[in-house]
Amino acid sequence: MSERIALVTGAAGFVGSHLSERLIAEGWRVRGVDCFTTYYDPSIKERNLSRLHREPRFTLERADLRETALEPLMQGVDTVWHLAAQAGVRASWGAEFQTYTSINVNATQRLLECAKATRPRALVYASSSSVYGEAPVFPAVEGGALRPISPYGVTKLAGEHLVSLYARAYGVPGCSLRYFTVYGPRQRPDMGFHKFFRAIFTGQELPIYGDGTQTRDFTFIDDITEANLRAAQSGRPGDAYNVSGGSRVQLLDVIRAMAAAAGRPAKLNFLPKQAGDPANTGGDSSLARQVIGYRPEVSLETGLGRMAAWMQRFLEGSPE
Ligand SMILES: NC(=O)c1ccc[n+]([C@@H]2O[C@H](COP(=O)([O-])OP(=O)(O)OC[C@H]3O[C@@H](n4cnc5c(N)ncnc54)[C@H](O)[C@@H]3O)[C@@H](O)[C@H]2O)c1
């Protein structure tokens, strides 16, 4: 059997680099695409790719999905995992919104138009729990109200709608995964756990927005990559599935667990709550369990231990 080709957009990012490594391990040929946006230090993205660069079945196109010719990238592709995005809730207000719409909405639409012609077997879109906003029901279910409370969430929801629209109108077999706060090695430097571990290891204060009683549903990166593989296998076109870690935890409790994993104390600095930050996020992933057979496997304790070990290496500048 000839090797299947995967197109992973955003392959140099946190989730994209892990997914690409997993696909290589599963025997795929991976065509990664990334334009190394400056949302955070691009040298971190280069580092994310260090293992992949040693893989003969991995190739990287340094291209911007907003303008590059997509047909050559999509030629012969079995499955598209579309992860490229402008991420982050806090930076999505004001003039920056234009970057969010051009990447998260316009580039997604370009990719779907191309998929209409090249007809991949499956397409999996990285959506976000931020489509729910302040969900009135806990844990959030897919059929519940979708009222984002950040401009970022609005663009991720628009991307999801485009995926289901192209499935309905043109038979592009795409589905969406709503990730709930992903953590683990290579987590983006603007994200909470990255900042917290960095602060713990360097003896700095940890910025806590609000009083620390906000709850989050944290999902370990390996569970997210597993869900991505499963969605490509058995996701139903047009569907969206919650992918959550299965345990809702208060931020202050998480910080205690992080300090234990790092073996060092945490100094807290309480700051005002930020606009667009929901008080609680929690997702019910029963639908994903039913349809794609997803079950989170990695406990918070195990996941934090693995992230602490990585953060130590990262701060020392040692290889991945
Ligand atoms: N990390 C999380 O907790 C989380 C939660 C919910 C949803 N998501 C979604 O998962 C996906 C991956 O998130 P991440 O945390 O790995 O982010 P990331 O920023 O680390 O990765 C995204 C990558 O996409 C690339 N990119 C952006 N615009 C591009 C363009 N126009 N052309 C080519 N490449 C482009 C960036 O350079 C980056 O390497 C995103 O779609 C994000 O919205 C992430």
Q: What's the pLDDT tens digit per position in 84-123?
A: 999 988 889 999 999 999 999 999 999 999 999 999 999 9
Lowest pLDDT segment from 57-61, 199-203, 279-283, 286-290:
279-283
- Best mutation site among 41, 47, 109, 179 for ligand 1 pocket (most ligand atoms within 8 Å of CB): 179
Q: Where are the domains of the chain?
A: 5-316
- Residue 163 beta carbon below 6 angstroms from any ligand 1 atom: no
Q: Which residue's CA lies nearest to atom 2 of ligand 1?
A: 182
Q: Where does the pLDDT of residue 286 fall: very low under 50, low under 70, confident under 90, or very high at 90 and above?
A: very high
Kindly state if the Cβ of 128 falls inside 6 Å of ligand 1. Answer: yes
Q: Label residue 290 by pLDDT band (50, 70, 90).
A: very high
DSSP string, 44-74: HHHHHTTTGGG-TTEEEEE--TTTS--HHHH
Q: Please state whether the predicted TM-score (pTM) of the whole model is above 0.85.
A: yes
Taking CA atoms only, the protein residue closest to ligand 1 atom 43 is 87
Tell me the C-alpha distance between 272 and 275, whole Å.
9
Using pLDDT thresholds of 50, 70 and 90, give the confidence band for residue 1. low
Does any ligand 1 atom lie closer than 6 A to the CB of residue 37?
yes
State the distance from the centre of ligand 1 to the C-alpha of 265, rounded, in angstroms. 31
125, 155 Cβ separation under 8 angstroms: no
Neighbours of 103 (CB within 10 A): 23
Q: Which CATH architecture has domain 5-316?
A: 3-Layer(aba) Sandwich (3.40)
Is the model's pLDDT at 64 over the cut of 70? yes
pLDDT digits over 135-182, tens only?
A: 777 789 999 999 999 999 999 999 999 999 999 999 999 999 999 999
pLDDT tens profile 191-237:
999 999 999 999 999 989 899 998 888 999 999 999 999 999 999 99
Query: What is the arithmetic mean of pLDDT over 253-276?
Result: 92
